[in-house]
Structure 1
Amino acid sequence: MDKELYIADARWHASFEDMIEKVQRDENKTVYYYNENYIKGKTVQYEILRGIWIVYHDFELKVNEFFPVEEKGIIEMNYCMAGRCELDCLNQKIFYVAPGDFAVAILSSGSHKHNFPLGNYRGISITTTEENLDDFLKNMFGKTRITSYMLLHKMNIHGKFMILSNNRYIQDIMGNIISEDDFWRERAIVKFSELVLFLIDKDIQVSEIKGKYFDRRIISKVKLIKEDVTENVEKYITIKEIGNKYEINTRTFSECFKEIYGKTYYAFIREFRIKKAAGMLLNTKNTVGGIAMMVGYENASKFSKAFHDIMGMTPGKFRRR
């Protein structure tokens, strides 16, 4: 698998060359620095042994969505450190991993995609294949009965994926799998070995989706509603009004919105309005009362209280600082 194509098939209006500002390579590591017109941040790829890739992401998107299209037959592990990652592993069924969550999946088709709905993401991916994983296990443990089948079989029982939410052992492994010391590669190999052994343990507690996944059609509709509402933030709209206007069940909307963005609709919109107001306080000479109305508040008093709750100070003090 050519790892340089890891994001090359993303659905952009720009070419791959436009998205990458600079590439630095050494014997075992490739660093992609993005063009800040599209993405602020970087991706670092490490090949710890043949066909075993550790990929570290730390970026902020300046476009609405980012869909790296993966190859069929890949075993992929994702650990979210910050932000939120959307995974499509269930034949148009979408689920999400939040900070501290770990997911491992078998990519059964080339249509598997990732998306980062909060616009920022920091996390680690590990990709390999069944063949390369078997070679890794033989190199590590010699004449061992441990094979990739033990992991794949366990994943198949759970629908070709497993999710572990806030597992401390996983968090310790993934938090130390990448280092910058002289023996980073050796440490990464040891940590990856620990991870595989932990995942195939028959006693591991694997999280079930428990209904928290949605059809892509519903996901797309909720995202469009969110875009519409945030673009017209001066017109405050309730969930009941959303249900009537967009012809969507209010309970479905509320549950789906929280899964996508990690917060309730009301909490998300409240924070969005205040942060937009903060930008206006810094970059315009509009009065506090005028800004309050521009972000959908009927009076300055309610606006000031909400602003203080989120920003920790009054609008006036924020502007002076």
Structure 2
Amino acid sequence: MNPHAHMKSQSGMSMLRYTVFDGIDLIFLDVKRETIQFYAQSHTKTFAINHCEEGRIECKFSSGEYLYMGPGDMSLGWHIRSDYQHENYFPTKSFKGIVLLVDVERAQPVLDTLVTDTHIDLAELANRFCENADFGMMMEETESVRHIFSSLYAVPDQIKAHYFKLKVIEIFLLLSVISTESHERRVSYRKHQVDTVKKVSKYLSKNFAKRITLDDLSNDFDVPASTLKRCFKGVYGVTIHQFIKECRMNEAKRLLQDTDDSILQIANAVGYENGSKFTSTFKDSIGMTPSDFRKI
């Protein structure tokens, strides 16, 4: 018996929603685009537990605060807070993750019948994690969190109904004993910082074949080098150097597949003067040499 599921799809996005218990929904998101607007209804007693498996997501709040989640990160939000409302952006045009939505008033009696020896107060749990900010709490991956969520992404259809129920209870039990102080990771950015970083990203995406230094970017975009370095990593999850290399490798793959240009010509086209350096970097990044990739 499978749990009740509802699929919603649009260009570059699929959302599969399972009702696990009354008042408790498990949502699987798979996004392959930059922008999607999700407007969570605020002022409701809904507790949201979010997990990022792949890619990156930006949450832009009405307060002007920007928060980011990367692979392994978990966040918790309390919709009753006035500033929970936010828009989402996907800096890497890729995101795969889970949202556990808990309607506290409907879910509490269900949980009470399932966990009889240990009372878990959902409203108290939500307040504890979200007491210091309207959005709530952001946590980096721990072994226990990784174990719970990673197993949810590949469950055989025939056992989903029971498996999801067990995992949801396990998540609540884990949250009931997690210390909010020892796991908190909350680094936020302001609009002008994010806007500058996105301009830098667009510039690099078009000019990755050039030799570009951090100081050049600092001067061109009128931002301190240390601030640019920190904010870029915060938004995109990689350093500027890594971002440039990814752009070069992606273009190199395209040229290897779509043209008959020589390896040296392609190396030069993506910013490498030395063919052997290009081949070595390509193999380290892609897992095979340019020549082998071209044969695929």
TM bracket (short chain): 0.7 to 0.9
The answer to whether the 8 Å contact 2:3/2:18 transfers is no
Q: Which runs of 5+ in 2 are unaligned?
A: none
Q: Deviations over 1:82-120 (max 9, x none)?
A: 112223468322222222222111233363123222212
Match of 2:252 among 235, 253, 277: 277
Residue 258 of structure 1 is matched in structure 2 by: 233
Aligned with 1:113: secondary structure? strand
Alpha-carbon distance in 2 for matches of 1:111, 1:163: 16
Q: In structure 2, how many angstroms separate the alpha carbons of the residues matched to 1:201 and 1:27?
A: 28
Is the Cα–Cα contact under 8 Å of residues 78 and 127 in structure 2 kept in the other structure?
Answer: no
**CA deviation profile, 1:186-209 (whole Å, cap 9, x unmatched):** 332232122122212265664223
Deviation at 1:125, TM superposition (A): 0.8
Q: Take 2:255 and 2:196, find their aligned partners in 1: how far apart are those partners?
A: 29
Q: Structure 1: any 5+ residue segments left out of the alignment? A: 1-25
Tell me the distance in 1 between the aligned counterparts of 2:70 and 2:86: 19
User: How many residues are treated as equivalent by the alignment?
Assistant: 289
Bigger proportion of residues as helix? 2
Q: Does 1:79 align with 2:51?
A: yes
Match runs of 1:183-222 below 5 Å: 183-201=159-177, 203=179, 206-209=182-185, 212-222=187-197
Identical columns (%): 24
TM-score normalised by L of structure 1: 0.78
Partner of 1:291: helix, strand, or coil?
helix
| Cα pair distance change 1:202/1:255, threshold 3 Å | closer
Q: Which residue of 2 aligns with 1:234?
A: 209
Q: CA RMSD in A?
A: 2.8
What one-letter code is carried by the residue in structure 2 that aligns with 1:256?
Answer: C
CA contact (8 A) 1:164 1:206 kept: no
1:149 to 1:318, Cα distance in 2 relative to 1, 3 A = closer
Partner of residue 308 from structure 1, selected from 275, 279, 283: 283
Higher relative contact order, chain-length normalized (CA < 8 Å, sep 6+): 2
Shift of 1:226: 0.3
CA drift at 1:251 = 0.9
1:268 alignment partner in structure 2:
243
Q: Relative to 1, partners in 2 of residues 1:206 and 1:70: Cα closer, same or farther, differing over 3 Å? A: farther
| 1:292 CA drift (Å) | 2.6
In structure 1, what is the Cα distance between the partners aligned to 2:129 and 2:285? Answer: 41
Residue of structure 2 aligned with 1:127, choices 98, 101, 111: 101
Q: What is the rounded CA distance, in whole Å, between the counterparts of 2:174 and 2:22 in structure 1?
A: 22
Normalised by the length of structure 2, the TM-score is: 0.84
Q: Distance in 1 between matches of 2:292 and 2:171?
A: 49
